[in-house]
Amino acid sequence: MPGLVPGIHSSRCMSKQDVDGRVKPGHDTWCWLEMSATQSSTPQKSAPRTVAGIRRIKPNEPSKKQERNQTLGGDPMSVEGAMRALSARVIVVGNEKGGSGKSTVAMHIAIALIKSGQAVATIDLDTRQKSLTHHIENRRAWARHVGRDLGMPQHFCFQQLDYPSADEQAAGCRALEKTVETLAGRYGVVIIDTPGHDDYLTHVAHAMADTLITPLNDSFVDLDVLGSVDPESFRVTGTSHYAEMVEEARGRRRVRYLGVTDWIVLRNRLSTLGSRNKRLVGESIQQLSQRLNFRCIDGLAERVIFREFYPRGLTAVDDLDEITLGSRPTMSHVTARLEMLKLLTAIGLGNAVTAHEIVGRRREVA
């Protein structure tokens, strides 16, 4: 946000009256935390608040459209609601179902882009779990431990109120928009990690996305957030809540930010073995891709190595040496790295890590 000084800051708060980009400490309406790319900090929790009568807005109820437009900052179809396109690439990783690998994907993309020389800012909207925030904190701690510059994004963690009123929700949405717009003027890429549930800030983030990445575990349980299938034929019979929210967000983006969203669905935790379930899920996703206009690509396989990266804040695109990893690199590290390279190439970020570098690391391990 304007006037921010890189470094460690305690939690700052933004009131609903302060939505023009200036920061005024002392209010208790909206809190965010900036985390330095070179130093560590401990997130400070905002004071809990209780407001009776939490208001939930379903995106596809006509009777709620006007109320929803007010919460998200006005009617997107109005001339006043139109805004210029952002100067940076905004990548949003979103899925309303938890456990799909959103934070893992967001972290790997951020580090891959940093290693390619790009300036990257990350935003964590998951105010409860904060998986991306913790991953970055772990990375800072491990970098200090091994005495190496591992490369860090400039990280921001939004803190929400427990039960915000409609006015407070609207102020929060405007605060997020202003934050992303300001970061877009300072960084080449802004990556936003969203929570695994419906949230009004998530709607704003989706409407700002140049690229929307939706990790999806390879099962009909997870597919349910995109669409429903016939129990006998397994053919798609309709679209679900998350898909409808994305469609609305893409419409808002076309008008408000004068651009389109490239929606990518990642089939995560893929089994290396063929199965009837894998085939049927794949066929259903292909049917949905034609209905919803998204690209479907293979994501990450079910590999233990990705879970082992988290405590040290590492990724598959980090240097494969014993000092960085804390142990001797194995073929599991190389396989995970190759898999991530393939994923980045499919997304359109293949220049972040070169194939030549991968081959060289494979020879070192061998």
- Convert the pLDDT of each residue in 39-97 to its tens digit: 433 333 333 332 222 223 333 444 444 444 544 555 443 333 445 567 889 999 999 98
CATH code for the domain of 182: 3.40.50.300
Sign of CA dihedral 309, 314, 317, 321: negative
Residue 272 falls inside a structural domain? yes
Residue 136 phi, psi (nearest 5)? -70, -40
Q: Give residue 325's pLDDT.
A: 92
Range of the domain at 215: 29-38+83-315
Whole-angstrom Cα distance, residue 100 to residue 267?
9
Angle at 196 between CA 193 and CA 202, to 5 degrees: 55
Kindly give, in sequence order, each residue whose CB lies less than 8 Å from that of residue 79, ignoring residues fewer than 6 positions away. Answer: none
Separation of CA 8 from chain center: 23
Structure token digits, residue 137: 């904190």
Q: What is the pLDDT of residues 263-279, one digit of tens each?
A: 999 988 777 677 888 88
Tell how strand 120-124 and strand 12-14 pair up: unpaired
3-state class (DSSP) for residue 262: strand
Residue 186 maps to a domain: yes
> How many beta carbons lie within 10 A of that of residue 217, not counting itself?
21
Does some domain include residue 251?
yes
Q: Is residue 174 part of a domain?
A: yes
Distance CA 220, CA 229 (A): 9
Residue 359 covered by a domain:
no
User: For the chain, how many structural domains are there in total?
Assistant: 1
Q: How far is CA 330 from CA 11, 264, 304, 341, in A?
A: 41, 30, 13, 17
| Residue 88 counted as domain residue | yes
Lowest mean pLDDT among 16-30, 80-94, 207-221, 285-299: 16-30
Residues 33, 170: Cα–Cα separation, whole Å: 19
Give CA–CA dist 207/172, Å, rounded: 15
Domain membership flag for residue 342? no
pLDDT digit string (tens) for 196-236? 988 899 999 999 999 999 999 888 988 999 999 999 999 99
- Name the pairing type of β-strands 295-298 and 30-35: unpaired
Average pLDDT over residues 353-362: 46
Residue 353 lies in a domain: no
Mean pLDDT across the chain, nearest whole number? 77
